[in-house]
A and B are shown apart, each in its own frame.
Chain A
Amino acid sequence: MKILTTVKKVVDVELNMHVKDGAIVQDGLQYVINAWDENAVEASVQLKEKNGAETTLVSIGGGDNTDMIRKCYAMGIDNGIHIEDPALNKADSAIFAKVLQKVYEKEKYDLVITGKQAQDTDSGQTGIMLAQYLGLPCVSNVISIEVTDDKHIKVSRLGDAGTEILEVELPAVVTVSDSINEPRLPQMRGIMMAKKKKINEMDLAALGTSADDVGAAAPKSEVIEFMASKVRKAGQKFEGAAAEIAAKVVNLLANEAKVF
């Protein structure tokens, strides 16, 4: 079985963000692996351990991704592809999906696992669009994957009415929720081995495509401005005897906020 996992480097959401002149101030920001992609990596490695698989990751953009990709190697990923091309600087989800389509078509995989969304955009489109472009079945927001035979997996996803169980024919694309697993911490042996591994660095030409071909010359949407979010102000905070402050807050809810 061949598994392709997508990994994106994103801004660390735990840090404070500031916006100036329509852009995010880069000072003091750090970039980390997208948390949901880390779940996708863990899911791939678990399938490899259980059923045997060759695991490949692909990452688009992000500049120097060496540390992030080595971390994934240390977790158990076998091969890494990194695509960097200035033509992709303004890419939207559809363009990323087109690039991933090219990556997929080069090698063909049995299963593609992506995080359900990236923490920087919170869009959640790329994996699903990739499946559309490839004409493959796709299940999103997946919380478990089980290989049933050479050609099928059984997955569960969190839907609106409950947990949905699906039988999926391979090849397929799944996007995973963070409820699927707890990503492992790389062990020393893995970290040492990861240092020796190569990363397959490519631009669009090396991938056998071009900006026009993947639609990067004309994105369907583009961010024209970042703005600060409306920040909620801290309101009144009460300390003291529980009976007294709880009664005070209920009184305020009734008479000031008028929610009761």
Chain B
Amino acid sequence: MAKVLVVADIKQGVLKGSTAELLSKAKAIGAETAVAAIGSKTEALIPELVKAGSDKQYIADAPGLELFSAGPYAACVADAAKQFGADMVWFGFSESGKASAPRVAAQLNAACATEITDVKLQGNQIEILRPAIANKVMQRVKVNSDKLVAVVRAGAFEAKEGIAGTQNVVKLSAPPADLKAAIKELISDASGEIDLADADIVVSVGRGAKDKAGVDLVKQLADDLKAGFGSSRAMVDGGFMAHNKQVGQTGKIVAPSLYIAVGISGAIQHLAGMTGSKVIVAVNKDPEAPIFNVADYGIVGDLFEVVPILREEIKKVRG
């Protein structure tokens, strides 16, 4: 039986949904599952980790692990993988996962793949599927090693109900701090905001909003919908939106139930980050904007006129 170690995606002390998604997939391919939770106060998450579908929990819980540092983080994952005898190690789609996976692969002498969307297992032979070239093609990749470390693309797997595992906790010793790449400070993203990666609805703003007043207008729509508020590259470069709000090949990859692109033309780099969304709505003045090629519902019009009406109409149907 193959063994899959899922690295728990924990953000500011909260266990993210991708952990249950990855564990569900691991069970679906018939693997024995374990989870590694690394950080500070991670012991408190044990019940949730069991509920998410893990049969073994490797817990690294130390104050020194509170701020992400790739070296110690990867060392914990490699330690858990070795103790578990993992054939595969899966990270959720996160910056910490992307930073850690190649390190863990090098330490385990394993193959490494990022942004995977599917895994097939036949005997010991692992095969994966992943998009490449800004999502324009898919690659089928044969893994020639008996071990694989992978980062799973956002929204690739679905969490199944009733997959709860069993509690079987193994404590990991905290590795020494990385003194050569020492984390000095974390300038936190504004707290209380809805995380783009988790949001069921995402509203994104683009160049069409022009300035702060335009951004504020679109944000009201996001707030009404309790949606994550994202951005195209143009508004980040223009200083109107924070870096961490950028959706696209270079930023966040999102796959919500509903994605509303407001004033975004739809450059290929932006599309690479959002075409996994279930339903896409686009608002743009230009009827030829490429965003309409991927939108289920397109509204050709001036966002300054359309957005207030959308807000009113949405209030009517949602009550």
The residues of A with any CB-CB pair to B shorter than 8 Å are 11, 13-14, 16-17, 19, 24, 36, 92-94, 116, 119-125, 128-129, 132-133, 136-141, 143, 154, 157-169, 172, 177-179, 218-229, 232, 234-239, 242-243, 245-247, 249-254, 257, 259-260
Instruction: Give the Cβ gap from B37 to chain A, nearest Cβ, in Å.
Output: 15
Closest to B138 in A: A227
Give every chain A residue within 8 A of B183 (Cβ-Cβ). Answer: 164-166
Say whether A11 contacts B113, CB under 8 Å. no
Provide the bound-state CA to CA distance between A14 and B267, in Å.
9
Min CB distance A72 to B, Å, is: 21
Is the C-beta of B45 less than 8 angstroms from some C-beta in chain A? no
Question: From B319, which residue of chain A is reached at the shortest CB distance?
Answer: A260
Can you show 26 pairs from A to B with CB atoms below 8 A apart?
A: A13-B134, A119-B134, A122-B115, A129-B103, A132-B107, A137-B181, A141-B98, A141-B99, A143-B243, A154-B184, A159-B95, A162-B187, A164-B68, A164-B183, A164-B187, A167-B184, A179-B236, A221-B141, A222-B142, A227-B137, A228-B138, A236-B297, A238-B298, A245-B306, A246-B301, A259-B278
Instruction: Please judge, given known A-B contacts A158-B244, A166-B184, whether A122 and B297 are in contact too, CB under 8 Å.
Output: no
Given A139-B181, A165-B183, A250-B317, do A125 and B142 touch, yes or no (CB 8 Å)?
Answer: no
Give the CA-CA distance A143 to B105 in the complex, in Å: 25
Nearest chain-A residue to B113 (Cβ)? A221
Given contact pairs A36-B250, A260-B318, enumerate 10 new A-B contacts (beta carbons under 8 Å): A137-B178, A140-B70, A221-B141, A222-B142, A226-B139, A227-B137, A232-B280, A234-B298, A243-B309, A245-B299
Would you call the interface of chain A mostly helix, strand, loop, or mixed?
Answer: mixed
Q: Does B275 contact A (CB under 8 A)?
A: yes
A252 to B281, CA, bound (A): 11
Separation of A218 and B143 alpha carbons in the complex (Å): 11
Interfacial residues of chain B within 93-108, with CB under 8 A of chain A in the complex: 94-96, 98-99, 101-103, 105-107
**Separation of A232 and B278 alpha carbons in the complex (Å):** 10
Instruction: Specify which chain B residues have a CB less than 8 angstroms from the CB of A94 in the assembled complex.
Output: 105-106, 111-112
User: Can you name the residue of chain A whose Cβ is closest to the Cβ of B188?
Assistant: A162
Q: A158, B243: Cβ atoms under 8 Å? A: yes
The 4 A-B pairs at the shortest CB distance, nearest first, are namely A237-B298, A235-B296, A220-B111, A137-B181
Our pick among B112, B140, B281 for the contact of A125 (Cβ within 8 Å) is B112
B112-A235 in contact (CB<8A): no
Query: Are B96 and A160 neighbours in the complex by a CB distance under 8 Å?
Result: yes
Of the candidates A119, A157, A222, A226, the one whose C-beta lies within 8 Å of that of B137 is A226
Contacts of B67 in A (CB 8 A): 164
Residues of B within 8 A of A179 (CB): 236, 243, 250
Determine which residue in B70, B71, B236, B302 has the highest number of CB atoms from chain A within 10 A of its CB, and name it. B70
- Give the interface segment out of B52-60, B167-175, B212-220, B287-295: B287-295
Nearest neighbor of B180 in chain A, beta-carbon distance: A137
Contact B137 A132 (CB under 8 A): no
Residues of B within 8 A of A143 (CB): 243
Residue of A nearest to B305 (CB): A242
Do B310 and A250 touch (CB < 8 A)? Answer: yes
Cβ 8 A contact of A17, one of B137, B181, B297: B137
Chain A residues whose CB sits within 8 angstroms of the CB of B257 once the complex forms:
259
Within 247-262 of B, Cβ neighbours of A (below 8 Å) are at 249-250, 257-258
In angstroms, Cα B313 to Cα A260, docked, is: 12
The answer to whether the Cβ of B44 comes within 8 Å of any Cβ in the partner chain is no
- Contact call A169/B292, Cβ cutoff below 8 A: no
Q: Binary interface profile of B, 115-157, with partner A (CB < 8 Å = 1, else 0)? A: 1000000000001000111111111111111001000000000
